[in-house]
Amino acid sequence: MIKNITVIGAGTMGNGIAHVFAQFGFSVTLVDIAKEPLEKALATIAKNIDRQVAKGIVSADDKQQTLDRITTNTSIEEGVKKADLVVEAATENTELKLKIFKQADAAAPAGCLLATNTSSISVTRIAAVTKRPELVIGMHFMNPVPVMKLVEIINGYSTSEETTQTIISLSKQLDKIPCVVNDYPGFTANRILMPMINEAIYSLYEGVAGVAEIDTVMKLGMAHPMGPLQLADFIGLDVCLNILRVLQEGFGNPKYAPCPLLVNMVTAGKRGVKSGEGFYTYTAGSKELVVSSQFL
Ligand code: NAD
């Protein structure tokens, strides 16, 4: 029976995952490398619950109860000690994730499930550094976690049927819709999404169309709620770049090579919404979509 959840990484996804588990009554320990990202995550969760209260999704009483279910820790070893399930949502970097899983595996109780929210890194590879590969699985939430219904569940090579069934039923308890897929680079969501985003960036890079035109074509022509360039900013340009590199390396196929413009933007620190600038410029408190001056 899963009661205690430890979420490792308190960034964009980690705070959303902690929020949803706490909202549905689970005890959550949120772990990050320092106090600052943890404090920022708690503030974000509080703000996002306020938004849910304003929309009538939850009551004002639920807010405090949800926040009270979340504790924080800066040590993985301490944070996973009582966990029934660990959900890792740290930076998309293979070496980092392998290190985190070794640490979590060594410190978590026997029988504790270890899930990764990775967008593209092999679950089988992550599982192989642990002594419990049958209990390791991909639990890929979508951004923003409190809003998006899908959980892409990724079976690694050694994931047991029991582990998969537990994560399917847990996802349903969170009012999400699970979809089980197999472990190949990018799984299903990003295998299809990232080449589209990369092609949109190539279209901009080669001068086929401007930022607003590319996004308008995809919004109005394909009924996408957000254009691919805005979506890339929202996901994080660094995250997109990392996923494309995993696809390129995993399949050995040049068609996944990231557009040089994306590489340049990430190198220059333009990571999209989280850095304040990507294809668009973001000002706190403003909802207006302003194309970055670089692309005018
Ligand atoms: P992020 O950069 O917003 O947050 C990552 C967090 O991990 C940071 O707070 C960082 O301090 C923390 N971290 C780094 N090393 C750590 C360690 N050793 N121990 C504990 N915490 C550590 O990244 P994100 O966008 O939240 O992505 C997290 C994961 O979720 C990635 O695997 C990413 O591929 C995946 N993902 C992202 C999205 C998205 O839209 N951003 C969607 C689905 C899945």
> What's the confidence (pLDDT) of residue 255?
96
Q: How many whole angstroms from 140 Cα to the centroid of ligand 1?
A: 12
> What's the confidence (pLDDT) of residue 82?
98
Q: Which residues pair with 271 in a beta bridge?
A: none
For residue 239, give the ligand 1 atom closest to its CA.
34
> What's the confidence (pLDDT) of residue 253?
96
Ligand 1 surroundings by CB, under 6 angstroms: 8-14, 31-33, 37, 76, 89-92, 96, 100, 117-119, 140, 143, 235-236, 239
> What's the confidence (pLDDT) of residue 272?
97
pLDDT band at 170 (very low <50, low <70, confident <90, very high): very high
Residue 276 in this model has a pLDDT that exceeds 90: yes
> What's the confidence (pLDDT) of residue 67?
97
Buried b (16+ CB within 10 A) or exposed e, 13-43: bbbbbbbbbbbeebbbbbbbeeeebbeebbe
Known active-site residue 190: yes
Most informative mutation of 13, 29, 80, 237 for ligand 1 (most atoms within 8 A of CB): 13
For residue 91, give the ligand 1 atom closest to its CA.
5
pLDDT in tens, 198-219: 999 999 999 999 999 999 999 9
Stretch 238-250: mean pLDDT: 94
Stretch 265-289: mean pLDDT: 95
Mean pLDDT computed over every residue of the chain: 97
Share of the chain above pLDDT 90, in %: 97
For residue 99, give the ligand 1 atom closest to its CA.
18
- The packing angle between helices 60-68 and 35-54, to 10°, is 160
> What's the confidence (pLDDT) of residue 285?
86
Most informative mutation of 6, 8, 12 for ligand 1 (most atoms within 8 A of CB): 12
pLDDT band at 120 (very low <50, low <70, confident <90, very high): confident
Name all domains of the chain by residue range, CATH numbers in brackets: 4-182 (3.40.50.720), 189-295 (1.10.1040.10)
Residue 290 in this model has a pLDDT that exceeds 90: yes
Integer distance in angstroms from the first to the last C-alpha of the chain?
55
